[in-house]
Structure 1
């Protein structure tokens, strides 16, 4: 039996990648890395520094600022997973806003940003025993991962989930705006030149449009256990 494997989870926004990844990390005592949080943190930095807004992105200024951006995951024992810190500040809550969601795909499309974060991600997972979710984990970050999953669901269903999350946080948003954001992120993520969101040839697709978290988790655990034999 293998001791540790690398689990790469890719897929569209609001498909529950992070939720499943956290559950897997807890069950198998693996390290969990939310790469989406890393791109969101860079986006938050760019927003706060007026490098990006809903209309334009100053790409050259963002690239010049990358050395000023420090990201770190700090484990929160009360939550059971690590939270992301941007230049020493916990920004886990701030990066989940719709405002950040509206700009993150543009920031993530910048090649220099991706190169910086991919290098960091590969260092985190070089020893195996890691669950990492994002858009290009199985295709770029860990192309040799023992288990690759690609999660998808209808845009309407994903927007419903995201809308409920934001409302529960107290954000004042409309379902229509959330759905528009989901579709726009899909378009940008899937058509960008650098590391577009695509399903790896050897990835197992999980369509969870009508699947609950527990059902997904049970099915994926079977796949993990098969790889560990």
Structure 2
């Protein structure tokens, strides 16, 4: 029996952390759909045309060590705005969501486009300042050379691109539960998400 948890939200809001924790807590499979777009974007940086890159994507591409760089993030956002790229990746995501035993998918259009019938939909967000500081800390910990103002500008540019695109823009599903992590600890955000999943799963 399938049970799908769709978690959407902008970059560095904490959706990936929450998704991994929810999957671990309930024994569900987890897919970071952003990696699909990052891996596709990574291929385009080598000169591959976006749609070709998406159609040729291999599972091994998701294991690349450089998918978390700022350059790849921007490339991912650009290819995600191409309707044919999104179409090429939709079926993979829907098949994953329908697997037996439950699945958690996090991304930007899971609750609105990929899994509109998901049993649980969460939209994880946080203030721009908090998200920029989180992303900066992450990048610096990996040896990247950048600063707060640069990261903030890149986040806002990506938000604008993701929200304004014609196909599957970033926005909460009408029936999504909003989870603002601006002032929450990781533990607090995880517990809030797990409580919602348990409530729906148990019918309480």
Q: TM-score, normalised by structure 2?
A: 0.94
- Measure the CA separation in 1 of the matches of 2:194 and 2:15: 14
Partners in 2 of 1:4 and 1:137 — Cα distance? 16
Gap regions ≥5 residues in structure 1: 52-60, 73-84
**Is 2:50 the partner of 1:62?**
yes
User: Are 1:125 and 2:97 counterparts?
Assistant: yes
Cα offsets for 1:146-188 (capped at 9, x unmatched):
1000011111110000000000011111111111110001000
- Name the CA distance, whole Å, in 2 between partners of 1:41 and 1:111: 17
Superposition CA RMSD, Å: 1.4
2:46 is matched with 48
How many residues matched?
A: 201
Give CA-to-partner distance per residue, 1:203-229, whole Å, 9 cap, x none: 000111111110011111111111111
| 1:152–1:23 distance in 2 versus 1, CA, 3 Å | same
Contact 1:18 1:133 in 2 (8 A): yes
Moved over 2 A (4+): 61-67
- For 1:220 and 1:101, locate their aligned partners in 2 and report how far apart those are by CA, in whole Å: 26
2:131 counterpart SS class: helix
Alignment match of 1:19 (pick from 17, 20, 23)? 17
Rounded to whole Å, the distance in 1 between the matches of 2:169 and 2:133 is: 24
Q: Tell me the equivalent position of 1:54.
A: none
**Relative to 1, partners in 2 of residues 1:62 and 1:102: Cα closer, same or farther, differing over 3 Å?**
closer
In 2 relative to 1, CA 225–36 (structure 1 residues): closer, same or farther, beyond 3 Å? same
User: Would you say the 8 A contact 2:83–2:167 is kept in 1?
Assistant: yes
Change (3 A) 1:16 1:65: closer
Q: Where does residue 108 of structure 1 map in the other structure?
A: 80
TM superposition score normalised by structure 1? 0.84
Other-structure match for 2:26: 28
Contact map agreement 1:101 1:181 (CA 8 A) in 2: no
More helix by share: 2
Is contact 2:81-2:162 (8 Å) kept? yes
